[in-house]
Amino acid sequence: MINRKKATLPRYNQGEALSPWREHINDVIFGFHTPMGRAFDVILIVSIIISVLAIMLDSVEAIRLEYGDWLFGVEWFFTILFTLEYFLRLICVRKPWLYAKSFFGLVDLLSIIPTYLTLILPGAKYMLVIRILRVLRLFRVLKLAEYLGEANVLMRALSNSRHKIMVFLYTVTTLVVVFGSLLYVVEGEGSGFTSIPKSVYWAIVTLTTVGYGDIAPVSPLGQFIAATIMVLGYGIIAVPTGIYSAELVRAYTGGDKAIGEPCMTCGETGHDKDALFCKHCGGSLEAEED
């Protein structure tokens, strides 16, 4: 009953029809149901990957010295390509200003601006991080038909459990502050616990089981407390995992079916979302709507 294609259109692309050629470009650039739209997405993804790899290689001293000119060329080629694409998007979208302010609109802009800025500004290194943000454009790949539903399930489960995850992060924060301060007092400056923020950093490294080993307790008492926080960290990983698993299990097994409409004939609920007829009495589930 819901027009799926329409429903997934971003807000900045909803509205009345455009002139035929703008509608066509819109379909190619923003759409993903036509062969050309899909081809555009694939080319875009390949371009982004090459361009991001070029930025990464450019940061390797040895490679820049040898192939610097090539990489410079690649960078400008893709920057100009992305600039053209950005203007095409602005031209053919229904609400250009809404698009420009949207998350992807900003990422699209941020992925071209820094290259132009390097012409007038020094400090290329800081521009580099902004330029590499164009990797975020890759998330457009999720528009590809095969990922669309999957990403939605994952995001909805995440969104459903956001309060529980906040409670979890909250507890983790409290734990690392308390244990970090404890180790700061117990261990002292000799073994690297020079301040509470640094000790809290150590506590995070330990609780998350990363364990660099750049800071590590050496006194027996310090090691005993550290062992406690390790076992805690090892154990409470169960909490976010459990929350997310349970949420997905509910989504998979149709645990939220209870919300659905009851059968008009026998009144039974618990029907699958795609059910047209009651599984208990065979009565139509949609009789009243026609």
Report 33-92 residues binding a copy of itself (CB under 8 A).
Answer: 52, 55-57, 59-61
Contacts to a copy of itself from residues 156-175, by CB under 8 A? 157, 163-170, 172, 174
Rounded CA-CA distance 92/95 in Å is 9
Taking CB under 8 A as the criterion, the residue among 47, 83, 118, 194 binding a copy of itself is: 194
Question: Smallest distance from the beta carbon of 220 to a copy of itself, in angstroms?
Answer: 7
Residue 41 CB partners (closer than 8 Å, separation 6+) = 32, 140, 141, 143, 144
Per CB under 8 A, 121 contacts a copy of itself: no
Q: In a 10 Å sphere around its CB, with 0-12 CB exposed, 13-18 middle and 19+ buried, how is residue 233 labelled? A: buried
Name the one range near a copy of itself by CB under 8 A: 12-20, 68-76, 87-95, 151-159: 151-159
The token duo for 272 is 């699958």
The number of angstroms, rounded, from the C-alpha of 197 to the middle of its chain's C-alpha atoms is 29
Binds a copy of itself (CB under 8 A): choice among 15, 68, 197, 262: 197
Residue 210 touches a copy of itself, criterion: CB under 8 A:
yes
Shortest Cβ distance from residue 272 to a copy of itself (Å)?
Answer: 6
| Cβ closest to a copy of itself, residue 22 vs residue 64 | 64
Round to whole Å and give the CA distance between 161 and 179: 27
Read off the DSSP letter of residue 268: -
Tell me how far, at minimum, the Cβ of 254 lies from a copy of itself, in Å. 8
Binding of a copy of itself at residue 128 (CB under 8 A)?
yes
Q: Does 100 bind a copy of itself (CB under 8 A)?
A: no
- Enumerate residues 214-253 that contact a copy of itself by CB under 8 A: 214, 216, 220, 223-224, 226-227, 230-231, 233-235, 237-253
Residue 45's contacts (CB-CB under 8 Å, 6 or more residues apart) are 138, 140, 141
Beta bridge partners, 277, equal 284
Dihedral (Cα; 238, 241, 246, 251), 10-degree rounding: 180
The distance of closest approach from Cβ of residue 62 to a copy of itself in the complex, given in angstroms and rounded to an integer, is 9
CB of 47 to a copy of itself, least distance (A): 16
